[in-house]
Amino acid sequence: MYKALVIGTSFGGLEALKAIIPQFPKGFPLAVIVVLHIGENQNDSFIRYLNEISQLHVKEAEDKERISTGTVYFAPPNYHLLIEADESFSLSTDPKVNHSRPSIDVLFETAAWCYKQKLIGVVLSGLNHDGAYGLLQINDLGGMCIVENPENAIAQIMPSAANKIAKPQFITPLHDIAEKINELLHSQN
């Protein structure tokens, strides 16, 4: 049984997330944890917007917060978001990874160690390689990996790197990703 979904994206990510998150139904059985590269800008207005168009509760993750299903958590600006063994968050101001804080790799690697085969990882549009090695870690520890089809992505570098390095099970057009996740959830019942 899957327990969590981690998503990483940067340039083009706002549009990609608007296409995916509203497709998850009320009562969605996973926690959704997102790293969106936006530099030191705030997430507040985007989080409010997603709350208006989504059936799930969308919020910024807080240090020591317990992770709950049916909630979408965003890494706060300028903090790495880590998942602890007890399924809670911790925030870190450690140096940037792949020129980014928050780093997708940091989230994905800690999530992979916590959830192992109960994790789905998704890499979307972006302009650097962040997320590729984290997605490989998810794959190596038995999780399921989905990458946005680079040919259709707003920015192809991130999904292309994830595809090459992590060898995901699925390379999927953006507008089919939520459906693919829902299929994975139904196939495990």
Residue in 37, 103, 129, 160 annotated catalytic: 37
By CB atoms closer than 10 A (0-12, 13-18, 19+), residue 61 is buried
CA 77/CA 79 separation, integer angstroms: 6
Residue in 10, 100, 125, 160 annotated catalytic: 10
Residue in 100, 105, 125, 130 annotated catalytic: 130
By CB atoms closer than 10 A (0-12, 13-18, 19+), residue 47 is middle
CA 104/CA 136 separation, integer angstroms: 12
N-terminal to C-terminal alpha carbon distance within the chain: 8
CA 66/CA 72 separation, integer angstroms: 13
Annotated active-site residue 80? The verdict is no
- Compute the Cα dihedral for 139, 179, 55, 38 and give only its sign: positive
Annotated active-site residue 130? The verdict is yes
CA atoms lying within 13 Å on the CB side of residue 62: 6
CA 102/CA 184 separation, integer angstroms: 28
Annotated active-site residue 176? The verdict is no
Task: Report the catalytic residues.
Answer: 10, 37, 130
